[in-house]
Amino acid sequence: MNINKIHHAAIICSNYEHSKQFYTEILGLEIIAETYRKERDSYKLDLRVGAIDQIELFSFSDAPVRPSYPEAQGLRHLAFEVKDINESVHELEKKGVVVEPIRIDKGTGRRFTFFSDPDGLPLELYERG
């Protein structure tokens, strides 16, 4: 097996319009494609993260709620690399996003912080070294 990279991360949201606004207007991710799938009564929104990475945002009307805590089993969080964490935190807070205090990664010495998407999915900002 020759795995090259992670192609995308997929997120199922509870309120499509709210999450679309958050990921595009608050986080500034670019829309690659938006597809309505009539047979599933579901949207699929492909978003570009940086130059090559992607997030797929899905809506399903009957999706069950999944508890999401940083220490629960399963996906712990989704991390975004940023050049300047202070600038990024300030931009999020100006848009009304609550951001945890900046911490230092004891292993790398780099700064990071957490915030949540509209469904409580833990998102991380990790400062590039």
Q: Which CATH number fits domain 1-62: 3.30.70.890, 3.40.50.300, 3.10.180.10, 2.40.50.140?
A: 3.10.180.10
Q: For the segment 35-59, what is each residue's pLDDT rounded down to a tens digit?
A: 999 998 999 999 999 999 999 999 9
- ∠ Cα 27 32 70 (to 5°): 40
Pairing of strands 9-13, 53-59: parallel
What is the fold, at CATH topology level, of the domain defined by 75-129? 2,3-Dihydroxybiphenyl 1,2-Dioxygenase; domain 1 (3.10.180)
Do 44 and 58 meet the contact criterion of CB atoms below 8 Å apart?
Answer: yes
| DSSP SS3 for 112 | strand
Domain limits, the chain: 1-62, 75-129
Taking the C-alpha atoms of residue 13 and residue 5, their distance in angstroms, rounded to an integer, is: 24
Res. 73: pLDDT tops 90: no
For the chain, what is the mean pLDDT? 90
Average pLDDT over residues 72-90: 88
Both structure tokens of 98: 């609550």
1-62 and 75-129, same CATH topology: yes
Average pLDDT over residues 70-77: 69
Distances (CA, A) of 118 to 45, 115, 125: 16, 10, 16
State residue 69's pLDDT score: 62
Lowest mean pLDDT among 2-11, 19-28, 93-102: 2-11
